[in-house]
Amino acid sequence: MSRDDRFLGSILAGAVGDALGAADEFEPIHIIRELRGPAGITDLVPAFGGLGKITDDTQMTLFTLEGLIRGHAHLRRGGQTGLEHFVQSAYQRWLHTQDYSWEDCRGPQNTSLEPDGWLITHRELFSRRAPGKTCLTALMSYGNNGQMGSFTHRLNTSKGCGGVMRTAPAALWPGDPGTVFGVGAMAAALSHSHPSGYLSAGALSVIVRHLIDGGTLPDAVDEAFRQLARWQHHEETTAALRVGVRLAEQGPPTPEKIATIDGGGWIGESALAIAVYVALATDNLDEALLAAVNHSGDSDSTGAICGNIAGAMYGPGALRPSWLEHLELRNTIEELAADALAEFGPEPPAHSLWERKYPNS
Ligand SMILES: [Mg+2]
């Protein structure tokens, strides 16, 4: 399997995992079993008015990817603006899709009358899918005062999983694993200021990077441990990940075993640990995605993150065809992933259409 296939697999399977968990994000496992049968979720179920609808997890992952493409294109054209500004701007465009006027989202330094670029032209993105409060609040505050969240400029004490659920795309950023970790963590720290909120995000980016480079999941997790150890206040994230790894040594995942990981996937380190546990303890994509959404916690986020990991392991060809067929925005997701691979590939596009699709802002 090629690196491109693995990356596409990561993004597509993340979206499918998100869609599989969308209807039952807030349901405990006994209700999921009552609603879906004794085996729990075994197929797509309607959510947000249809089958295969994505949630805020995938929406924000797409905007992360867009921000990285635009930031990378800017830097290779000799631009001086930091990558974080491009990712922040992409998140402000996502905020605009959540029923906020562009004037309230764009930030005081930005005077554009309309959000630009290709991604925001997709009207299907303009839909609220239970967006996380921390993300909304942090981005609204940027829209108001132009102050970016960072490792040193803390906006809150949140370690919700809204950071890690959107940072798989940082796997494509060029450089060593330390650089990739830093990009993923930076993207999460724009909204989540607790170390476990952004270090779990950096860890996911590094895991996906290692997998798309052809490595195994156990080695990818070891790389994540190495990178985590270089950061202050990593202990909580490291400990959660260790719980996930240890649990994977005890056979196939069950909702009851997942429940022994603290936090139900609602917080960053917990969501990462559940996703890694399930990916380690299964041997195919179908099973991994279903196990990742069948528990009492944040099913769509753990489904999305596990999909990001397992999709990079098994590739897009391993996705159940009926799931792909129903996946909302499938063509857009595939085109954006292909564009990212072009931008981060050996010969990035240089034509003017590209600059219109991914403007320098
Ligand atoms: Mg969600």
301 is in an annotated binding site: yes
**Tell me: the pLDDT tens digits for 155-206?**
999 999 999 999 999 999 999 999 999 999 999 999 999 999 999 999 999 9
pLDDT score of 6: 98
298 is in an annotated binding site: yes
CA 21 / ligand 1 centre spacing (Å): 8
- Cα distances (Å, whole numbers) of residue 9 to 37, 44, 56, 255, 316: 29, 18, 19, 25, 4
pLDDT score of 288: 98
**Could you say which residues of the chain have pLDDT below 50?**
none
Count the Cβ atoms, other than its own, within 10 Å of residue 24.
Answer: 24
Q: Is 321 exposed, middle or buried (0-12, 13-18, 19+ CB in 10 A)?
A: exposed
Q: What DSSP line would sit under 183-208, residue for residue?
A: HHHHHHHTT--SHHHHHHHHHHHHHH
pLDDT score of 69: 98
CA 126 / ligand 1 centre spacing (Å): 14
CA 74 / ligand 1 centre spacing (Å): 30
CA 288 / ligand 1 centre spacing (Å): 18
CA 27 / ligand 1 centre spacing (Å): 13
DSSP state of 331: H
57 is in an annotated binding site: yes
With a threshold of 0.95, does the pTM exceed it? yes
Q: What DSSP line would sit under 98-159, residue for residue?
A: TT--HHHHS-TT---SS--SSGGG-GGG---S---HHHHHHHHHHHHH-PPP-SSS------
CA 328 / ligand 1 centre spacing (Å): 14
CA 131 / ligand 1 centre spacing (Å): 6
Please tell me the distance from the alpha carbon of residue 282 to that of residue 92, in angstroms, as a whole number: 37
116 is in an annotated binding site: no
Contact criterion met (CB below 8 Å) for 27 and 77: no
* Structure tokens, 271: 């969501």
In degrees and rounded to multiples of 5, residue 267 shows phi and psi of -110, 155
**Tell me: the pLDDT tens digits for 308-341?**
999 999 999 999 999 999 999 999 999 999 999 9
In degrees and rounded to multiples of 5, residue 183 shows phi and psi of -70, -45
Give the closest residue to 272 by CA, choosing from 296, 238, 248, 295. 238
pLDDT score of 361: 87
Please tell me the distance from the alpha carbon of residue 338 to that of residue 264, in angstroms, as a whole number: 33
Please tell me the distance from the alpha carbon of residue 112 to that of residue 98, in angstroms, as a whole number: 19
CA 304 / ligand 1 centre spacing (Å): 9
Please tell me the distance from the alpha carbon of residue 25 to that of residue 80, in angstroms, as a whole number: 41
Please tell me the distance from the alpha carbon of residue 53 to that of residue 71, in angstroms, as a whole number: 28
For the domain made up of 3-39+52-357, the CATH class stated in words is mainly alpha
Q: Is 232 exposed, middle or buried (0-12, 13-18, 19+ CB in 10 A)?
A: exposed
CA 81 / ligand 1 centre spacing (Å): 31
Residue 50 β-bridge partners: 47
Buried b (16+ CB within 10 A) or exposed e, 152-176: eeebbebbbbbbbbbbbbbbbbeee
Count the Cβ atoms, other than its own, within 10 Å of residue 76.
Answer: 12
pLDDT score of 349: 96
55 is in an annotated binding site: yes
